[in-house]
Structure 1
Amino acid sequence: MNPMIEFCTNNYVHGTDNIKQKLEDNPEYDVIEYNCLGHCERCAVTPFAAVEGEFIEADDPDDLIDLIEETIEERKAFDDLFDQL
């Protein structure tokens, strides 16, 4: 199952629309956009996304994409370890 990455269209003002497009190009990710993800207080001031429901924010879009990919890799490593048990 592919990791789900969710974006708020209201947050595109912070450059997250470009990140969404880059991530959509990767067939290993499920990328979804919503009109609102309910994090309005943070949405107004910082780029963010939700990875498997976890709120991820950064100072700029480049940092955000790095954090998204790190979060996905950490979750994958944990899942792989769990599968070995």
Structure 2
Amino acid sequence: MRVTINVGFCVKNLAKGTEQVRQQLVKDPDLEVMEYGCTSNCGICRKYHVAVVEGKPVKADTPDQLLENINEYIDNVLIDQL
């Protein structure tokens, strides 16, 4: 059985540079990548690059770091829970 991991992005956060992360993640068949008008994480979304992975916000100072943090979260936290 294949498990799909949900990753969501706020459109405003995408516009400030996180779009390149979304484009990388869309290529992964195990991820369902979505865009939202708002992810209700406005406090961190204003300051950081943010993605919501299975309901948990993952943040970073740069898009490259965000991609790394998302992959690390999936590999080290989510896989054990799935």
The answer to whether TM tops 0.5 is yes
Q: 2:56 maps to what in 1?
A: 54
Structure 2: gaps (5+ residues): none
Other structure's SS at 1:20 match: helix
The percentage of counterpart residues that share the same residue type is 33
State the shift of 1:44 in Å: 1.4
Q: Does 1:29 align with 2:36?
A: no
Amino acid at match of 2:64: D
Q: Could you tell me the TM-score, scaled by structure 2's length?
A: 0.88
- Is this contact kept in 2: 1:14–1:61, CA < 8 A? no
User: Which residue of 63, 71, 77 corresponds with 1:69?
Assistant: 71
Structure 2 counterparts to residues 7-46 of structure 1, below 5 A: 7-46=9-48
Structure 1: gaps (5+ residues): 81-85
Amino acid at match of 2:5: P
Q: Could you tell me the TM-score, scaled by structure 1's length?
A: 0.85
State the shift of 1:8 in Å: 0.4
C-alpha RMSD of matched pairs (Å)? 1.3
Larger % of strand: which? 2
Other structure's SS at 1:15 match: helix
Inter-partner Cα distance in structure 2 for 1:79 and 1:46: 26
Runs of at least 4 residues off by over 6 Å: none
Inter-partner Cα distance in structure 2 for 1:39 and 1:79: 23
State the shift of 1:5 in Å: 0.5
